[in-house]
Amino acid sequence: MSFSEDPDLQPLLLGLFLSMYLVTVLGNLLIILAVTSDSHLHTPMYFFLCNLSLVDVGFTSTTVPKMIVDILTHSTAISYAGCLTQMSVVVLFGTMDDLLLTVMAYDRFVAICHPLRYQVLMSPNCCLFLVSVSFVASLLDALLQDLLVLGVACFKGVEISDFFCVPSQILSLTCADTISSNIVIYFVGIIYGFVPVSGIFYSYSKIVSSILRVPSPGGRYKAFSTCGSHLAVVCLFYGTALGMYLSSSFSGSAGKGVSASLVYTVVTPMLNPFIYSLRNKDMKRAMWKLLKNAVAVSAPSIWSNGGKRAKANHTDLRVPPPS
């Protein structure tokens, strides 16, 4: 279902969602380019940040482009295969986003609480292993959701009260009893939600206790600043995902559910690059360096083209010698 059937609002919605999508993609890609181009940022923390930015691009690209096409074509239809594919990718990237935030919290825990063992505990092989485990766990979650929906053969309705396909919305349209399927979905959701949140709370409880034991105020501020960006992203992610979804489920309003989905899938990935770039001095320095290099590369070509044009014009105006 679309946000509004009012034709006067369609251009406004198109411009709003298109601009938000472009900001999300460009901001996250800029983070990836800045980290990969700066050797000072080749650390576990920024390696996980690159993966998080890549997941955010995939997450928002699964829902927003289809919504923009629907507004342009004035059609909100999606095929059954397309709906299942979209649902799988949304679950995959959403779960991986959740698990990567937990891995990043563990990275900050090791860096602050066990700094002398950081290079050993967070070796390149360990970082790659943690990202691989996050991907495999997310893939298993997506496959389980697919199996639950593929077992449904009869539907009593064809309207999904959201702008993308999610398992709970599809199961609500079935003719058969879906109590067992809903129990499995909620149970898996609790596991993939409670375990990462518990890990994040445990990591930051240890981080806070370690920081409070630092004698100098400057040292405490530096330690807090290293994990401030990640903590802000965690609060934004779980605040929008849990708070708004719980409020919409208790109120039973479809409009609030759509608003929750919009914040969760569009607004949060768009704000992540701003949080990491504005609160991190190393990231701001890498971005400025990347922009300066881009300007330096493009400037010689401009001057070269200008010099060639001037030389051509000078050649055209030259008076031939007398015979």
pLDDT tens-digit readout, 56-108 = 999 999 999 998 988 888 888 888 889 899 999 999 999 999 999 999 999 99
* Side chain identity at residue 97, one-letter code: D
Greater pLDDT, 254 or 109: 109
Helix/strand/coil for 155: strand
Name the one residue in this structure whose structure tokens are 């079935």.
174
User: Above 50 in pLDDT, residue 48?
Assistant: yes
Question: How many residues in total does the chain contain?
Answer: 323
Selection from 35-44, 90-99, 187-196 with the highest mean pLDDT: 90-99
Position 29 scores a pLDDT of: 92
Helix/strand/coil for 4: coil
**What kind of fold does domain 10-284 have according to CATH?**
Rhopdopsin 7-helix transmembrane proteins (1.20.1070)
CA dist 174 and 320 (Å) reads: 87
What lies within 8 Å, CB to CB, of 62 at 6+ separation is 86, 89, 90, 93, 164
| Tens digits of residue pLDDT in 238-295 | 877 776 556 545 555 555 567 777 877 888 888 888 887 766 777 777 778 777 777 7
> Domain segments of the chain: what residues?
10-284
Residue 105 phi, psi dihedral angles, 5° rounding: -65, -40
Position 279 scores a pLDDT of: 65
Closest by CA position to 221, among listed 112, 106, 145: 112
- % of the chain residues with pLDDT over 90: 27
Q: What is the pTM of this model?
A: 0.83
CB crowding 261-286: b at 16 or more within 10 Å, else e: bbbbbbebbbbbbebbbebbebbeeb
Average pLDDT for residues 3-25, to the nearest whole number? 86
